[in-house]
């Protein structure tokens, strides 16, 4: 199998604060919602590639990727400069285990993201398998500023389509808003404000958490959940916390 496919950028969307979405046509192999694929470019005679989550579920095309531009980084700035019609290298096969197939039975599914970690959850939320498995689904997304929150239109559409079963809880840490919880997610777990906002209790018997985002968030949210009696999920030892980190 070839290491790279040649994809074509079909659209680009610029968000706030150096956040960019690229929509790409490429014949990748079938994949599962929640997985990621490497994007790459040839730079100074060498192919540089990095993994990026697939924001689109498998039944929706084109491929959709959302990422932050890393100042001084070798790849993300160049990817952000691409426009419709430009070529980009795409790995032929997706990878990753932050998928519903890896989640054990539970009544309530919590998806907790910071930054572009919301990407795989947007794919999972638009998968029909999700809504046949869980009574309630909570999406938690943390950003520094309100303007940085991603996929507002898509999230509102999900809330309408699954009214009464879906809750969105945004966090904004650097400014006050009239709609988002302030501060950080771990503190909101510890003081109960996340549960009050979601209207759902956290418990080892009913809850499963999927986490995706920066390493500090993953570590601190995991610790806060462990303090509530939840434990990491392993295939050999089922638990209530699934974690994905690309850093």
CA gap 164, 144 in Å, rounded: 28
pTM of the model: 0.95
Exposed/middle/buried for 139, CB within 10 Å: 0-12, 13-18, 19+? buried
pLDDT digits (tens, 9 = 90+) for 198-241: 999 999 999 999 999 999 999 999 999 999 999 999 989 999 99
- Long-range contacts, stretch 43-51, CB < 8 angstroms, 24+ apart: 43/74, 43/75, 43/78, 47/4, 47/89, 48/74, 48/75, 49/4, 49/75, 49/89, 49/91, 50/75, 50/76, 51/95, 51/96, 51/246
Instruction: Please determine, for residue 1, whether its predicted confidence score (pLDDT) is greater than 80.
Output: no
**Rg over CA atoms, the chain:** 18
Q: What is the DSSP letter of 232?
A: B
Selected from 3.40.190.10, 3.40.630.180, 3.40.50.300, 3.40.50.80, the CATH number assigned to the domain covering 100-244 reads 3.40.50.80
pLDDT digits (tens, 9 = 90+) for 65-122: 999 999 999 999 999 999 999 999 999 999 999 999 999 999 999 999 999 999 999 9
Domain ranges for the chain: 5-90, 100-244
101: alpha, beta or left, given left = phi > 0 and alpha = psi -120 to 50?
Answer: alpha
Top-level class of domain 5-90: mainly beta
User: Distance from CA of residue 39 to its chain's centroid?
Assistant: 17
Q: Quick one: pLDDT at residue 247?
A: 60
pLDDT digits (tens, 9 = 90+) for 133-191: 999 999 999 999 999 999 999 999 999 999 999 999 999 999 999 999 999 999 999 99
Share of the chain above pLDDT 70, in %: 99
Average pLDDT, the chain: 96
């Amino acid at each position: 199998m070839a290491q790279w496919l040649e994809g074509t950028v079909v659209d680009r969307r610029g968000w706030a604060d150096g956040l960019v979405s690229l929509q790409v046509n490429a014949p990748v192999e079938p994949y599962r919602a929640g997985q990621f694929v490497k994007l790459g470019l040839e730079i100074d005679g060498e192919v540089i590639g990095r993994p990026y989550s697939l924001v689109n579920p498998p039944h929706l095309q084109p491929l959709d990727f959302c990422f932050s531009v890393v100042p001084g980084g070798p790849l993300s700035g160049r990817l952000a400069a691409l426009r419709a019609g430009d070529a980009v290298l795409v790995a032929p096969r997706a990878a990753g285990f932050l998928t519903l197939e890896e989640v054990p039975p539970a009544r309530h599914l919590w998806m907790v993201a910071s930054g572009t970690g919301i990407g795989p959850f947007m794919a999972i939320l638009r998968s029909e398998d999700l809504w046949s498995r869980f009574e309630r689904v909570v999406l938690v997304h943390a950003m520094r500023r309100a303007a940085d929150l991603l996929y507002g239109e898509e999230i509102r559409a999900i809330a309408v389509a699954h009214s009464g079963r879906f809750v969105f809880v945004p966090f904004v840490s650097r400014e006050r808003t009239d709609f988002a919880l302030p501060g950080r997610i771990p503190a909101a777990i510890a003081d109960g404000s996340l549960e009050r906002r979601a209207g759902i209790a956290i418990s080892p018997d009913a809850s499963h958490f999927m986490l995706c985002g920066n390493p500090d968030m993953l570590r601190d949210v995991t610790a806060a959940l462990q303090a509530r009696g939840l434990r990491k999920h392993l295939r050999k030892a089922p638990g209530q916390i699934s974690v994905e980190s690309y850093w």
